[in-house]
A = this chain, B = another copy of it.
Amino acid sequence: MNQKLFFTALIVLFVLSGVSHYGHWGTIPEFILSALAILFVAGFLGKATESVAHYAGQRLGGFLNATFGNAAELIIAIFLVRAGEFEMVKASITGSIIGNLLLVLGLSVLLGGLKYKEQTFNVQLAGHNSSLMILAVIALFIPAIFVSAEHFSIDQDRTLSISIAAILIIAYILWLIFSMITHKSILADEEVTTPDHGEEPAWSKTMSIVFLVVATVMTALVSEWLVHTLDSFSERFSLSAIFVGAFLIAIVGNAAEHSAAILLAMKNKIGAAVEIAVGSSLQIALFVAPVLVFVSMLFGETMDLVFTTIELAAIGVAVFIATSISRDGRTNWYEGALLLCVYVILGFAFYLV
C-alpha cells in the first residue's frame, strides 16, 4: 500500500475511533472503528519496530523484531488483564496461536500453492520450531491437567502458573541465545528466504524512534477503546467471551502477520511465511502468555495459566496438524486447505459454545 495513503487511513481511523469512543456513538460503530483502527496502528507499530531494529544492528535488532513482533497483541492483552477479563485474555492467546497456525499458515500455503505446484523450505528449522511448539503445548496443558485431576487450590494453581511462566521466559531467553548467538550460522541459510529486513528503511534513526513511541501510544489507546466495547458487543450478538477472544480479537490483532505471510507465500517465499506464522505462535505461547502472568501480578490479581478444555483441544489440534504438515519441508495447496478446514471446524465449535 502506498505510504501516504496508509498514513491518511491510519490518522483518519484513529481520530474517528477516538471520537466515537469519547462521544459514546454506541457499541457497533465504536467496535467497527476501533477494530479497523487497530489494523492500521498495529501495522504502523510493526513498521516502526522493524525500522528501529534496522538501526539497532543485527543482533539487538533481531531481538527487538523477535520480541516486539507481537507488541500489538501484548498491548491489547495487557488492557484485558487490567480489566480483569482473564477468560478473554486466555481465549485471545488461544486464538492467536490457532489463528497463526491454521488461518495465516493455511491461507499462505493455499494461495502460495495455487500459484506454485509445490513450495519447499528448510526442514531443519521446522524441526526446531516443532520441538519449541511442543514445549509450549506442554506448558499450557500441565496446569489444566494438574488443577482438574488433583483438585488444586487457588494457591497451588497460582504457584504452579507462576513457576511455569518463569520457566517459559527462561526457555525463551535461551532460545534467543541459541538462535542469535551460539547457532546463528546453522540457522543462517534460512535467513536468505526471510523477509528483506535488510532493505534501507524509509525513516531516519531519530524519526524511527519517535514513530515507535508514537505507534506504541496509539496502539495502547486504540486497544483500550476496543477492549471497552467488547463486553457490550459480545452481549449484543450473544457471542461468548471465548469466541470473541479466540476469533475476533485474534484475527484483528494478527492482521499484520496475515498479510505479510500471505504476500511472501505468493512470492514463493513459503519458508518466510511459515516462519512468521510459527514464530508468532511461539512468541505468544512462550513470551506473551508468561509475561501476562507477571503483568497481572502488578495489577494485584494473579492470572493463572489454566486454559479450558476446549482451548487446549484447539491449541493441541492446531499444533498437531501444523507440525504434521510442515514436517517434510514441502507444501501444496491441499495442505493449506486442510489447515483451513480445521480452522473452520474450530470456528463453528467455538461459535456454538
Residue pair A352, B138 in contact (C-beta under 8 Å): no
Name the distance in Å between A169's Cβ and chain B's nearest Cβ: 11
Which of B167, B182, B324 interacts with A130 by CB under 8 Å? Answer: B324
| B178 touching A345, Cβ below 8 Å | no
Chain B binder among A37-45, A210-218, A270-278, A313-321: A313-321
Contact A124 B334 (CB under 8 A): no
- CB–CB B352/A159 < 8 A: yes
Q: How far is the CA of A142 from the CA of B312 in the complex (A)?
A: 11
Contact of A324 among B131, B310, B332 (CB under 8 A): B131
Given contacts A328-B124, A338-B135, A341-B135, contact A333 B182 (CB under 8 A): yes
**B-contacting 9-mer, from A57-65, A68-76, A146-154:** A146-154
- Interface 0/1 of A260-297, CB less than 8 Å to B: 00000000000000000000000000000000000000
Tell me, in angstroms, the Cα distance from A150 to B314 when the chains sit together. Answer: 14
Given A334-B174, A334-B175: A146 and B352 interface contact (C-beta under 8 Å): yes
A178 touches B317 (CB 8 A): no
Separation of A337 and B150 alpha carbons in the complex (Å)? 28
Contact B341 A170 (CB under 8 A): yes
Does A164 lie within 8 Å of B348, measured CB to CB? yes
| Chain B residues closer than 8 Å to A313, beta-carbon distance | 141-142, 145-146, 149
Tier of interface size on chain A: 35 or more
- A145 shortest CB reach to chain B, Å: 5
Question: A207 an interface residue at 8 Å Cβ cutoff?
Answer: no
Report chain B residues within 8 Å CB of A145. 309-310, 313
Cβ contact of A138, chosen from B139, B308, B317, B330, cutoff 8 A = B317
Give chain B nearest CB distance to A347 CB in angstroms.
9
Give every chain B residue within 8 A of A174 (Cβ-Cβ): 334, 337
Q: Which of A317, A332, A346 has the most CB of B within 10 A?
A: A317
Alpha-carbon separation in the docked complex, A128 to B331 (Å): 10
Q: How far is the CA of A112 from the CA of B283 in the complex (A)?
A: 27
The 9 closest A-B CB pairs, nearest first, are A149-B309, A178-B334, A163-B348, A145-B313, A156-B352, A146-B349, A171-B341, A138-B317, A127-B328
29 contacts between A and B (CB under 8 A): A117-B182, A127-B327, A131-B321, A134-B321, A135-B341, A138-B317, A141-B313, A141-B317, A142-B345, A142-B346, A142-B349, A143-B349, A145-B310, A145-B313, A146-B349, A149-B310, A149-B313, A160-B349, A167-B344, A167-B345, A167-B348, A168-B341, A170-B341, A171-B338, A171-B341, A178-B332, A178-B333, A178-B334, A183-B334
